[in-house]
Amino acid sequence: MGGGSNQKLAVHVVSVLLFDTDGGIILQKRSPNKRHNAGLIDKTLGGHIKWGDGESYTITVETIQELLTPSVVLDNEDDFMKTLEVLSPYLDTVAVIFKKVIRPWQLKKIVDGKSFAVDNIVCLGFGVYGGRMRPADKEAAGILYYSSLDQLESEMKTSPDIFTDDLKQLIEQYRGDILSLQKKIREILKK
């Protein structure tokens, strides 16, 4: 995080990037009714962790609230890979997600056309879902699919203002993890 940040005052959030069963990237277009980053393209889902709630619980609730999709949330990538293989026939009805990391992260938010830096403690998750998604009323304006990371990065270069800082930093800092995970997903689900 930037200098002078205070983790005690940081907002605790979950941030999840989902892939489809072909390894494509699923993103959310934020509702124009949202207070911050309204109308921008963002990670698949995210939300604030309420006092007393844990990361896994919050991811489960946000998956349903934002995408109308139930989820199984796992604590690590090894359990995720095993569960992905076991539940592969059911990925059209349930998302399988693992918690990659919990880390401090300073992210820019756009509110009323102005940019603000916000200190966050982010629980970053990655997962797979192969079913239909419908954006929930007032939570998301739409769902977007990118068949490759190259396709997404190309659009991010040509139209950077339509993407959230959250997504830009996630792609920049976890590019290698995303490519590796896409390869593993394709290997497991295309047997």
Domains defined along the chain, listed by start: 7-189 (3.90.79.10)
The span from the CA of 139 to the CA of 57, in Å, is: 18
Residue range 27-32: mean pLDDT, rounded = 91
The rounded mean pLDDT for the chain is 91
Q: Range with the lowest mean pLDDT among 23-27, 28-32, 159-163?
A: 28-32
Closest CA to 148 of 23, 43, 18, 17: 23
What pLDDT, on the 0 to 100 scale, is given for residue 191?
57
Output the six-digit token pair for 31: 């509702």
What pLDDT, on the 0 to 100 scale, is given for residue 85?
95
Strands of the chain (E only): list them. Answer: 11-19, 25-30, 41-42, 45-48, 71-74, 95-111, 114-128, 140-146
- Has residue 151 got a pLDDT over 60? yes
Output the six-digit token pair for 79: 């359990």
What pLDDT, on the 0 to 100 scale, is given for residue 8?
54
pTM of the model: 0.92
What letter would DSSP give residue 31?
P
Label each residue of 158-188 as H, E or C. Answer: HCHHHECHHHHHHHHHCHHHHHHHHHHHHHH
Q: What is the pLDDT of residues 88-140, one digit of tens each?
A: 999 999 999 999 999 999 999 988 889 999 999 999 999 999 998 877 767 78
Q: What is the pLDDT of residues 64-75, one digit of tens each?
A: 888 888 999 999
Percent of the chain with pLDDT over 70: 95
What pLDDT, on the 0 to 100 scale, is given for residue 121?
95
CA atoms within 13 A on the CB side of 101: 7
Output the six-digit token pair for 70: 């139930």
